[in-house]
Amino acid sequence: MFPYKTHNYGLLKMTDHALDLHTCIILPQTTSILEGQWTATNYSLRKRLHEMEQAQHELEWQKKNTEAEIAETEESISNLRQALADKTPPLMVVNTRLENRIHRPRVELCRDPPMYGMVEEVAEIAGVQHSLSEKLTTALQGLGTLQRTLERIDRDLESKTACVSFDKECIEVRKKLGEHQKAEDLLKPRTA
Protein backbone atom coordinates (compact mmCIF):
# COMPACT_ATOMS: atom_id res chain seq x y z
CA MET A 1 0.00 0.00 0.00
CA PHE A 2 1.10 3.52 -0.76
CA PRO A 3 1.87 5.74 2.21
CA TYR A 4 -0.18 8.68 0.91
CA LYS A 5 -3.35 6.51 0.89
CA THR A 6 -2.82 5.65 4.55
CA HIS A 7 -2.20 9.28 5.34
CA ASN A 8 -5.35 10.43 3.46
CA TYR A 9 -7.40 7.71 5.15
CA GLY A 10 -6.19 8.97 8.56
CA LEU A 11 -7.10 12.53 7.62
CA LEU A 12 -10.57 11.45 6.57
CA LYS A 13 -11.06 9.66 9.91
CA MET A 14 -9.90 12.78 11.80
CA THR A 15 -12.28 14.94 9.76
CA ASP A 16 -15.20 12.63 10.60
CA HIS A 17 -14.32 12.83 14.30
CA ALA A 18 -14.08 16.63 14.08
CA LEU A 19 -17.51 16.80 12.47
CA ASP A 20 -18.94 14.57 15.17
CA LEU A 21 -17.31 16.77 17.84
CA HIS A 22 -18.74 19.85 16.09
CA THR A 23 -22.22 18.35 15.90
CA CYS A 24 -22.25 17.02 19.45
CA ILE A 25 -20.57 19.80 21.43
CA ILE A 26 -20.02 23.04 19.56
CA LEU A 27 -23.35 23.21 17.71
CA PRO A 28 -25.53 22.93 20.85
CA GLN A 29 -23.36 25.50 22.67
CA THR A 30 -23.63 27.89 19.76
CA THR A 31 -27.38 27.29 19.58
CA SER A 32 -27.71 28.05 23.27
CA ILE A 33 -25.64 31.23 22.95
CA LEU A 34 -27.68 32.42 19.96
CA GLU A 35 -30.97 31.74 21.73
CA GLY A 36 -29.72 33.63 24.79
CA GLN A 37 -28.76 36.60 22.62
CA TRP A 38 -32.13 36.43 20.86
CA THR A 39 -33.94 36.49 24.19
CA ALA A 40 -31.75 39.29 25.57
CA THR A 41 -32.31 41.40 22.45
CA ASN A 42 -36.07 40.85 22.61
CA TYR A 43 -36.06 41.84 26.29
CA SER A 44 -34.06 44.99 25.54
CA LEU A 45 -36.44 45.95 22.75
CA ARG A 46 -39.51 45.43 24.94
CA LYS A 47 -37.87 47.42 27.75
CA ARG A 48 -37.01 50.27 25.36
CA LEU A 49 -40.56 50.22 23.98
CA HIS A 50 -41.97 50.41 27.52
CA GLU A 51 -39.68 53.35 28.39
CA MET A 52 -40.57 55.16 25.16
CA GLU A 53 -44.29 54.65 25.79
CA GLN A 54 -43.89 56.02 29.31
CA ALA A 55 -42.04 59.05 27.95
CA GLN A 56 -44.75 59.48 25.31
CA HIS A 57 -47.50 59.37 27.96
CA GLU A 58 -45.57 61.86 30.10
CA LEU A 59 -45.27 64.23 27.14
CA GLU A 60 -48.98 63.88 26.36
CA TRP A 61 -49.75 64.76 30.00
CA GLN A 62 -47.40 67.76 29.84
CA LYS A 63 -49.00 68.87 26.57
CA LYS A 64 -52.49 68.69 28.08
CA ASN A 65 -51.39 70.70 31.14
CA THR A 66 -49.52 73.26 29.03
CA GLU A 67 -52.55 73.74 26.78
CA ALA A 68 -54.71 74.26 29.87
CA GLU A 69 -52.20 76.82 31.21
CA ILE A 70 -52.17 78.61 27.84
CA ALA A 71 -55.97 78.81 27.85
CA GLU A 72 -55.92 80.10 31.43
CA THR A 73 -53.25 82.68 30.57
CA GLU A 74 -55.14 83.83 27.46
CA GLU A 75 -58.27 84.31 29.56
CA SER A 76 -56.25 86.23 32.14
CA ILE A 77 -54.79 88.43 29.38
CA SER A 78 -58.28 89.08 28.03
CA ASN A 79 -59.48 90.03 31.53
CA LEU A 80 -56.48 92.33 32.08
CA ARG A 81 -57.05 94.08 28.75
CA GLN A 82 -60.71 94.52 29.61
CA ALA A 83 -59.85 95.88 33.07
CA LEU A 84 -57.33 98.25 31.52
CA ALA A 85 -59.92 99.43 28.99
CA ASP A 86 -62.49 99.83 31.79
CA LYS A 87 -60.16 102.19 33.67
CA THR A 88 -59.71 104.56 30.72
CA PRO A 89 -63.19 106.24 30.74
CA PRO A 90 -63.14 107.03 34.49
CA LEU A 91 -59.65 108.49 34.11
CA MET A 92 -60.79 110.64 31.23
CA VAL A 93 -63.82 111.86 33.22
CA VAL A 94 -61.71 112.77 36.26
CA ASN A 95 -59.08 114.48 34.08
CA THR A 96 -61.80 116.48 32.32
CA ARG A 97 -63.38 117.52 35.64
CA LEU A 98 -59.97 118.48 37.00
CA GLU A 99 -59.12 120.51 33.88
CA ASN A 100 -62.49 122.25 34.01
CA ARG A 101 -61.96 123.06 37.66
CA ILE A 102 -58.45 124.41 37.07
CA HIS A 103 -59.35 126.54 34.02
CA ARG A 104 -62.64 128.10 35.12
CA PRO A 105 -63.23 131.47 33.53
CA ARG A 106 -63.39 134.45 35.92
CA VAL A 107 -62.85 132.24 38.95
CA GLU A 108 -59.72 132.10 41.00
CA LEU A 109 -57.81 128.84 41.22
CA CYS A 110 -58.50 127.42 44.60
CA ARG A 111 -57.02 124.35 46.08
CA ASP A 112 -59.78 122.87 48.12
CA PRO A 113 -60.67 119.31 49.26
CA PRO A 114 -62.67 118.47 46.08
CA MET A 115 -59.67 119.37 43.93
CA TYR A 116 -57.32 117.32 46.09
CA GLY A 117 -59.80 114.45 45.88
CA MET A 118 -59.74 114.62 42.07
CA VAL A 119 -55.92 114.72 42.00
CA GLU A 120 -55.80 111.69 44.27
CA GLU A 121 -58.38 109.90 42.11
CA VAL A 122 -56.30 110.57 38.96
CA ALA A 123 -53.17 109.27 40.68
CA GLU A 124 -55.02 106.21 41.98
CA ILE A 125 -56.50 105.32 38.56
CA ALA A 126 -53.14 105.93 36.85
CA GLY A 127 -51.45 103.65 39.43
CA VAL A 128 -54.03 100.93 38.85
CA GLN A 129 -53.56 101.27 35.08
CA HIS A 130 -49.78 101.04 35.48
CA SER A 131 -50.15 97.96 37.67
CA LEU A 132 -52.55 96.35 35.18
CA SER A 133 -50.22 97.09 32.25
CA GLU A 134 -47.29 95.52 34.14
CA LYS A 135 -49.41 92.44 34.87
CA LEU A 136 -50.43 92.35 31.19
CA THR A 137 -46.80 92.52 30.07
CA THR A 138 -45.87 89.71 32.47
CA ALA A 139 -48.82 87.62 31.29
CA LEU A 140 -47.88 88.15 27.63
CA GLN A 141 -44.30 87.08 28.34
CA GLY A 142 -45.59 84.02 30.21
CA LEU A 143 -47.88 83.19 27.28
CA GLY A 144 -44.92 83.37 24.89
CA THR A 145 -42.92 81.05 27.13
CA LEU A 146 -45.80 78.60 27.37
CA GLN A 147 -46.27 78.61 23.59
CA ARG A 148 -42.56 77.90 23.03
CA THR A 149 -42.76 75.11 25.62
CA LEU A 150 -45.78 73.66 23.83
CA GLU A 151 -43.90 73.73 20.51
CA ARG A 152 -40.97 71.87 22.12
CA ILE A 153 -43.34 69.33 23.67
CA ASP A 154 -45.02 68.81 20.29
CA ARG A 155 -41.64 68.18 18.62
CA ASP A 156 -40.60 65.77 21.38
CA LEU A 157 -43.96 64.02 21.26
CA GLU A 158 -43.71 63.61 17.49
CA SER A 159 -40.24 62.11 17.91
CA LYS A 160 -41.36 59.74 20.68
CA THR A 161 -44.38 58.65 18.65
CA ALA A 162 -42.13 57.82 15.69
CA CYS A 163 -39.75 55.89 17.98
CA VAL A 164 -42.61 53.91 19.53
CA SER A 165 -43.96 53.06 16.09
CA PHE A 166 -40.52 51.98 14.87
CA ASP A 167 -39.89 49.88 17.99
CA LYS A 168 -43.26 48.15 17.59
CA GLU A 169 -42.42 47.35 13.98
CA CYS A 170 -39.04 45.93 15.05
CA ILE A 171 -40.68 43.73 17.67
CA GLU A 172 -43.25 42.48 15.13
CA VAL A 173 -40.53 41.66 12.62
CA ARG A 174 -38.55 39.82 15.28
CA LYS A 175 -41.68 37.87 16.28
CA LYS A 176 -42.19 36.80 12.68
CA LEU A 177 -38.54 35.81 12.40
CA GLY A 178 -38.76 33.92 15.67
CA GLU A 179 -41.77 31.97 14.45
CA HIS A 180 -40.15 30.98 11.18
CA GLN A 181 -36.53 30.53 12.12
CA LYS A 182 -35.21 29.00 15.29
CA ALA A 183 -31.53 28.96 16.06
CA GLU A 184 -31.46 25.17 15.75
CA ASP A 185 -32.79 25.42 12.20
CA LEU A 186 -30.17 27.96 11.27
CA LEU A 187 -27.29 25.89 12.58
CA LYS A 188 -28.29 22.54 11.11
CA PRO A 189 -25.75 21.31 8.61
CA ARG A 190 -27.04 21.79 5.10
CA THR A 191 -27.05 18.85 2.80
CA ALA A 192 -27.17 19.31 -0.89
Q: Confirm whether 66 is domain-assigned.
A: no
1 to 8, 32, 40, 138, 163: CA distances (angstroms): 12, 46, 57, 106, 71
Could you give the number of structural domains in the chain? 1
Type of residue found at 74 = E
Average pLDDT over residues 140-147: 96
Q: Confirm whether 178 is domain-assigned.
A: yes
Instruction: Say if CB 93 and CB 121 are below 8 A apart.
Output: no
Residue 19 has pLDDT above 70, yes or no: no
Q: Confirm whether 28 is domain-assigned.
A: yes
Residue 20 has pLDDT above 80, yes or no: no
Q: Confirm whether 82 is domain-assigned.
A: no
pLDDT band at 183 (very low <50, low <70, confident <90, very high): very low
Question: ∠ CA 118-120-122 to the nearest 5 degrees?
Answer: 70
Q: Confirm whether 72 is domain-assigned.
A: no
Share of the chain above pLDDT 70, in %: 79
Give me the pLDDT at residue 3, please: 56
Residue 176 has pLDDT above 80, yes or no: yes
Q: At what angle do helices 27-102 and 113-180 cross, to 10 degrees?
A: 170
Identify the domain containing residue 142 by its residue range: 3-57+88-187
Q: Confirm whether 79 is domain-assigned.
A: no
d(C-alpha 165, C-alpha 152), whole Å: 20
